[in-house]
Structure 1
């Protein structure tokens, strides 16, 4: 009798797993990127064709990060990353939107300029676009790829161009485009973001790779209790940033190309929007006021067409 019960349970389990569609497996994998993590960042330049090239020092850093789901609709999952420093400092970090079979992507060219590129139905079928945004919700890069679930492995990979990484954009001017080879895969402890990057000089004469780089960002699950202050902080901020995202979406929808400028009146765009977020929370602005003030600031930094 026990053997019969065991076989029935096994059969039910097998049916349940096999009944989960590829699309549902994709969604489950993406949603598992959310959580509470210790993140380690490791980057090293690995090769340069020019023997005179001087390799830059390896980069290592770490921190605590909470990745929280902002939106969970059938064909879109948005995840906001929040960096936690100590017990009382939170930094709104990067955001990733995953969109299923998106018909166009925003492609980075150079000099803080992105252009919208339409894709064919064959190019998007069954594939997910990861749309990565900077701390102020301005664009960073978008890329499209297929989630693969085989032999217990769950992974996604793509290739795309982006601006210089935050760890280098204030320190280097010898290249102007990072050609990213992105690979995300789940691990028993969390997930890994592995990169094989080319550092590119892009000019009217074409692209020249000056160095290649290996990157590993490892997200390891930690105790949720570490993020109590972050939850309280985000509860006060998230209303403003929902309206800021809506303001950015209006900019993206109305334009086929976007170019961001640098400082205006001594401040970068993210500094201005962070100030607005604090004022909105303190002064209890309405949603209409949030959008109005945000669009006004964005328009001073964006040259769109």
Structure 2
């Protein structure tokens, strides 16, 4: 009887493990399906404002579009990394803009949560809190941190999606224009659809101060669509990556070293009156570890 019970338990454990592996494979397939060449639309509109100020001016509605190549950079069993490359300009003079990067890490316990004023708090989560989950880590154009959050991919009723709420710096479309708030609380949903994927957002524009409760100034809706097209349309971005991937691997490696310190992180916005991306986008300089590593270190506040 005991032997039978043990056999039943082992069989049950085997089935659970098999299901977990199957679910993880579904997750990996969903994440990697975001790679490729896409016609992208970027849409943002402020929905509600709570300032109580009659002179308050909401952000303008944004409608933009472009062509974007999402390059698979790393594909390990517990980590998938993808670099977005935006293609701009006329067909005969295309220019590549190294855009944002997203890394996905399985059952990751180490997060950098955005606080405010270009600072991130290191958080170590219990393994039980992230079981079966994926952390999405989003990085700026210079591979410095942006925002991170952990949640489970959901595969149900023919849908595959992941959603999470986390704090982030102001988006690039806002931070040069707005100074009346200093944090965006992002509700992100990535959903895989038949013709590509959707990045759906419901964001709070928040005023955050030490020792005080967050104040929501306004809210906005974001709806970005990624419609898959032939990879050949993004050949210029593919060529750019072949020429520059070694340089950006050095940049990522240095940032990985910084993150591995597992301490709170504060970054300078500018050094010698220049942002980090302006240094790294210099095509003539900053190609080697000897040039890149001390540059990045100069932006890390001691």
Report the TM-score, using the length of structure 1 for normalisation: 0.87
Which of 231, 245, 248 is the aligned partner of 2:252?
245
Q: How many matched pairs?
A: 278
Q: Which residue of 2 aligns with 1:157?
A: 163
What is the CA–CA distance in structure 2 between the aligned matches of 1:91 and 1:233, rounded to whole Å? 10
Superposition deviation, residue 127 in structure 1: 0.3
Q: Which residue of 2 aligns with 1:72?
A: 75
1:241-299 deviations in Å (ceiling 9; x for gaps): 01111111111112411111122223110111122x5436xxxx6xxxx2221111011
Where do 5+ consecutive residues of structure 1 fail to align?
Answer: 1-17
What is the CA–CA distance in structure 1 between the aligned matches of 2:129 and 2:59, rounded to whole Å? 37
Which of 277, 290, 293 is the aligned partner of 1:292?
290
Aligned 8 A contact 1:162 1:178 in 2: yes
Which of 120, 123, 126 is the aligned partner of 2:129?
123
What is the CA–CA distance in structure 2 between the aligned matches of 1:201 and 1:95, rounded to whole Å? 26
What secondary structure sits across from 1:251 in the alignment? helix
Which of 145, 148, 152 is the aligned partner of 1:146?
152
Q: Which residue of 2 aligns with 1:38?
A: 39
Aligned 8 A contact 1:237 1:278 in 2: no
1:162-188 deviations in Å (ceiling 9; x for gaps): 000010011100000000001010111
Q: Which residue of 1 aligns with 2:58?
A: 55
Aligned 8 A contact 1:178 1:198 in 2: yes
1:214 matched to 2:215: no
Report the TM-score, using the length of structure 2 for normalisation: 0.88
What secondary structure sits across from 2:237 in the alignment? helix
1:269 matched to 2:291: no
What is the CA–CA distance in structure 2 between the aligned matches of 1:303 and 1:182, rounded to whole Å? 29
Aligned 8 A contact 2:39 2:66 in 1: yes
- Across the aligned residues of Structure 1 and Structure 2, the Cα RMSD in angstroms comes to 1.6
Aligned 8 A contact 2:69 2:238 in 1: no
Q: Which residue of 1 aligns with 2:301?
A: 303
Q: Which residue of 2 aligns with 1:14?
A: none
